[in-house]
Structure 1
Amino acid sequence: MSPQAAHVDPTYGNWRRPRRPGLGPLGLLGTVGVFGGIVFDLLISLISLQLTLVVFVLQVFLLLPLAVRTQDGRNVYQLLAVRIGWFRRQAKGVTTYVSGPLSRRPGGRYPPPGLLSRVRVLEGRDAYDQPFGVLHHRSRNLYTIVLGCEPDGGSLVDPDQIDNWVAAWGHWLARLSGEPGLRGASVVVETAPDTGTRLANEVLPRLAPDAPPAARAVMEEVVGSYPAASSEMHTYIALTYGVQPGQKRRTEDVVADLALRVPGLLVGVVGAGGGPATPLSAERIAEVVRVAYDPAVAADVLEARAVHGGTGLEWDDAGPAAAVETVGAYQHDSGVSRTWMLTLAPRGTVRAQVLRGLLEDAPGTRRKRVALLYRPIDPATSARIVEADRRAAQFMATSRRGNVQARAASEVRAAEQTAVEEATGAGLVEFSLMVTVTVDSADEVDDASATVRNLLAGARLSMRPADRMQAAAFSCTLPAGILPWEYTLVPREVKEAL
């Protein structure tokens, strides 16, 4: 009998940063500017050499900022745009938000601020007659549905089962590429220390009145001490759909169309290890947003749901009473938050548990949200992208003199593998990651930052704080369907050309 082969844990990877068109770090617009400047200089040289020199220096001064880039690919002009936008918001006073009866806002209620201020919430019913909320982003005419699930986790699970879950999740993401009108998706994993409310509501009412005092004392001690060493975790999947340009559809028709898609989406989530999955009602979405802005009411929300079956909270009351945005933090009601954005994904391959430490509850924090943002690409565009990347990788590898460097050879292998997988039916998805940590006071932000840096090191991620845009980044990590690429002043196509 032959000895059993040793089990090898599967690895995952082969993600690649989209290659920027143009010469080196200049981008497409910079490359066009270089060649256009050369032609213009030749024409000017026919008139005056001194004028040609002046124009050449001016061109270098304008094009050089396009060649200087940060680790995540931003050039000097983009850095300046963020700072200018921050100074403009400060001058207008929009970095401070006040709502409620004593504010100047009409209605005397507490609507969410910033990117969520133009959102209204609708509600429909799916094929199983379950209520589900629809967030209508009126400024962009986008519609978002939110699914809640309870993933099984990877503890005490066979590696083969984990590999099957990962494959099923990949198929589900590939299916999103064929979803009509889908603009993007986000998966938000929220963790927080357990308040003990659910355990107390389950145990204490069931204690027999004539129970022995010793037994009652033991159960009460368990209820009082167990939450100190436990945490609660919630997972949400937000899917954002858009209406085709030039197409006019009534809101009721869009909600009815989404109701038909919900059951199929839930089946895919369950098959990928998502556990029990249900669509979130409008009330539940408002509760999630309310707790994010005011973590101190988390226990009250759980108590109301356990005792009364719901809170009756509406979207117009889900925001904070006051919020102040600073350069490196966002203060809102009973919490202070800081958000980080992905700059570099792990190089090479990783194991299935690479994000486990980042997703778990972080000591010393009130709440933590990890948001994975996905932008599915349609099959026709995917084919063009992978072929362009493959040709570019081969050109870079063969254009070097002497031996091909190891990184260039790895780029060629990765591009070839991506092309083969796309040709056999795999989907192409752009992804990013954002992390928001909420603490009780501004004095604890630096300690939370150190905790996040340690978690990122274990996950092999490179991230940077979303300085001067903390309020917008905070909204992006909520399960509300805020897609960053849909809310930029400069169109996404132009930014990619930069």
Structure 2
Amino acid sequence: MATEIIEPTYGNWRRPRRPGLGPLGLVGTVGVFGGLVITLMLSLASLSLALGFAIPLTLLMLPMALRTQDGRNIYQLVALRIGWFQRKSKGATSYVSGPLSQRPGGRFRPPGLLSRVTVSEGRDAYDQPFGVLHHRSRNLYTIVLSCEPDGGSLVDPDQVDNWVASWGGWLARLSHEPGLKGASVIVETAPDTGSRLANEVLPRIRDDAPEAAKAVMREVVDRYPSASSEMHTYISLTYGVPPGAKRNIEDVISDLAIRIPGLLLGLVNAGGGPATALSADRISEVVRVAYDPAVSGDVMEARAQYGSAGVSWEDAGPSATVEKVDCYQHDSGVSRTWMLTLAPRGTIRSSVLRGLLEASPGTRRKRVALLYRPIDPATSARIVEADRRAAQFMATSKRGMVQARAATEVRAAEQTAVEEATGAGLVEFSLMVTVTVDSDSQLADAGVAVRNLLASARLLMRPADRMQAAAFSCTLPAGILPWEHTLVPRELKEAL
């Protein structure tokens, strides 16, 4: 008698509900109701005076009601274009470093959001080195973990389900991490350079071996890398210092050293495989290869022979970069970054991102970054209850065809409330994808390949136009959190 294997499905995520009336947002709603009150008061004195105030108010509020699919209004789009033209007119879209540049020191420091980052190093409870990135502009500290996931091939569905549950528990634990501002998971894929295989095989070929055997081994070393790829997974955790607290870097490193073993153990239990914290040199090597993919083989070969490529953070940046509207040129590569607009609707399976995470033919490097912002338990309970009340109100206030969707919203809100009450964590997430190619002419083909992968993953993304340099930095394992580097406070931005 055949038994049917039911693969678990996942979902029930939802976009945070914007406060306010419809698409206006909180600021627009306050402006509309305040304007109506003033208009009514002016109409008591003069009708023409009231119309003279109401018409400009309507023209002022209308752009706030027109929004794109990802929730941006007209004012936000105009502000983005104005910021781009200002940076371009000041020459901030180009960057040159090194001994022949005008920058002091003559070093190759990373540009943009990484320009004010400094790197220190400490040792954890197992006396293993780990690097700490200090973002001086925001007083944030980042550690980077590396792991080698086992993968889902030839693995029982029950084991995959346990891994997903353990990963959810690890994310829920981040909500209780003191001072944690955000986390990111970066999966980087690239064609195999062949240096690792050559360093492992060629020194082991004996001189007295048969010529046919030696020829076969050399042919394997020459041809195998063309059909294989390398994959690296990094997890960056960014911590903040409480306002008003004065802590030196030594105290912060000691605090992070205590937390690292527990974090690594959680990754291993979630199917992350061997996990370790990256040293300062290793973080610099990753950033150096991202800006100059052509040196990947040299860096890996030096690391295999000497244990380290000797790249410091002061020399991890590019020699020259140019930011354009739709791409970012840096040393030997050209990159384009996409940002998440809409997560998959309905339920999905655990393999939904498998195609997106695998290496793509025709690309030099590809990075998929999952950004997480854990929410503390008190705020989570308040958000869940607010969503629950809003869903119930929408279900009881609408009739007809909308009632079915409203009922679905109520069930989803009720399920979220039950899960949060039983200990589950609430996490805001987003996704960014960076593809690096050799020249501008290959960007079109890379864009088609990414769109095909997004369609199979049921994701809706848009290019990060006019902010490609900042988006490129967000996909690096350097702890750049977009919501921590905005000119407009996050609370005010959510109210627009």
TM-score, scaled relative to structure 2:
0.99
Partners of 2:402 and 2:94 in 1: CA distance: 55
- Gap change, CA 1:83 and 1:403, over 3 Å in 2: closer
In 2: Cα distance, 1:26 partner to 1:328 partner: 29
1:414 matched to 2:412? The reply is: yes
C-alpha distance after superposition, 1:144-175 (max 9, x if no partner) = 00000000000010000000000000000000
Mapping 1:238-317, distance limit 5 Å: 238-317=236-315
Instruction: Using the TM superposition, give the Cα deviation of residue 47 of structure 1 relative to its aligned residue in structure 2, in angstroms.
Output: 2.5
Q: How big is the shift at 1:406?
A: 2.4
Displacement of 1:405: 2.8
Relative to structure 1, the CA distance from residue 403 to residue 475 in structure 2 (aligned partners, 3 Å threshold; closer, same or farther) is closer
Specify which of 7, 10, 13 is matched with residue 9 of structure 1: 7
Equivalent in 153, 161, 164 of residue 155 of structure 1: 153
Look up the equivalent residue of 1:18 and give its one-letter code. P
Out of 128, 135, 143, the position equivalent to 2:133 is 135
1:404-453 Cα deviation digits (max 9, x unpaired): 53221111111110000000000000000000000000110111000000
1:198 is aligned to 196
Cα distance in structure 2, aligned partners of 1:407 and 1:468: 36
- Give the secondary-structure state (helix, strand or coil) at the position aligned to 1:357: helix
Residue 70 of structure 1 corresponds to 68
Q: CA separation in 1, counterparts of 2:283 and 2:401?
A: 57
User: 1:110 maps to what in 2?
Assistant: 108
Cα offset, 1:11, TM superposition: 0.2
Question: Cα distance 1:370–1:403, how it changes in 2: closer, same or farther (>3 A)?
Answer: closer
Match of 1:428 in 2: 426
Q: CA deviation at 1:403?
A: 6.1
Cα displacement (A) at 1:35? 0.7
Letter in 2 for 1:239: L
In structure 2, which of residues 461, 471, 484 is the aligned counterpart of residue 486 of structure 1? 484
> AA paired with 1:36?
G
Cα deviation for residue 352 of structure 1 reads 0.5
1:284 & 1:51 partners in 2: Cα distance? Answer: 68
Residue 397 of structure 2: aligned partner: 399
- Counterpart mapping for 1:10-25 below 5 A: 10-25=8-23
**In the alignment, which of 436, 439, 456 is matched to residue 438 of structure 1?**
436
Tell me, yes or no, if the aligned pair for 1:398 and 1:404 is still in contact at 8 Å. no
CA distance in 1, matches of 2:325, 2:336: 10
* SS at 1:381 equivalent: helix
Deviations 1:317-349 (A, max 9, x none): 000000000000000000000000000000000
| Deviation readout 1:258-290 (Å, 9 max, x if unpaired) | 010000000000000000000000000000000
Q: CA 1:46–1:108 in structure 2 vs 1: closer, same or farther (change >3 Å)?
A: same
Matched residue SS, 2:177: coil
CA drift of 1:205 comes to 0.3
Identity %: 78
Partner of 2:317 in structure 1?
Answer: 319
Of 11, 23, 45, the residue aligned with 1:47 is 45
**Counterpart secondary structure, 2:144:** strand
**Deviation string, structure 1 residues 174-229 (Cα, Å, up to 9, x no partner):** 00000000000000000000000000000000000111111110000000000000
CA distance in 2, matches of 1:238, 1:257: 16
Once residues 404 and 27 of structure 1 are traced to their aligned partners in structure 2, the CA distance between those partners, rounded to angstroms, is 22
**2 CA distance for matches of 1:240 and 1:406?**
41
Partner of 2:181: 183
Letter in 2 for 1:159: P
Amino acid at match of 2:90: K
- SS of corresponding position for 1:109: coil
Report the 3-state secondary structure (helix = DSSP H, G, I; strand = E; otherwise coil) of the residue aligned with 1:419.
helix
> AA paired with 2:18?
R
1:449 alignment counterpart? 447
Question: Is 1:462 equivalent to 2:450 in the alignment?
Answer: no
Query: Aligned equivalents of 1:35 and 1:274: distance in 2?
Result: 52
Q: From the superposition, tell whether residues 94 and 306 of structure 1 become closer, same or farther in structure 2 (CA, over 3 Å).
A: same
Contact 1:373-1:431 at 8 Å conserved across structures? yes
Gaps of 5+ in 2: none
Structure 1 vs Structure 2 CA RMSD: 0.8
Q: SS at the partner of 2:276?
A: strand
1:224 paired residue number: 222
Aligned to 2:330: 332
SS class of match (2:461): strand
Name the SS of the counterpart of 2:45 in structure 1.
Answer: coil
Structure 1 match to 2:87: 89
Once residues 20 and 447 of structure 1 are traced to their aligned partners in structure 2, the CA distance between those partners, rounded to angstroms, is: 37
Report the number of matched residues: 496
CA distance in 1, matches of 2:70, 2:364: 29
Letter in 2 for 1:76: I
**Aligned residues of 1:11 and 1:350 also touching (Cα < 8 A):** yes
User: CA shift at 1:4, angstroms?
Assistant: 5.6
The whole-number CA distance in structure 2 between the counterparts of 1:270 and 1:136 is 27
Amino acid at match of 2:221: V
Q: Aligned letter for 1:45?
A: S
Distance 2:115 2:41 in 1: 52
Taking the aligned partners of 1:4 and 1:405, their CA distance within structure 2 comes to: 40
* Residues 6-30 of structure 1, C-alpha deviations (whole Å, 9 max, x = no match): 1100000000000011110001111
Cα–Cα, structure 1 residues 477 and 403, in superposed 2: closer, same or farther, change >3 Å?
Answer: closer
- Provide Cα deviations, 1:223-267, integer angstroms capped at 9, x if missing partner: 000000000000000000000111111111011100100000000
From 346, 349, 355, give the equivalent of 1:348: 346
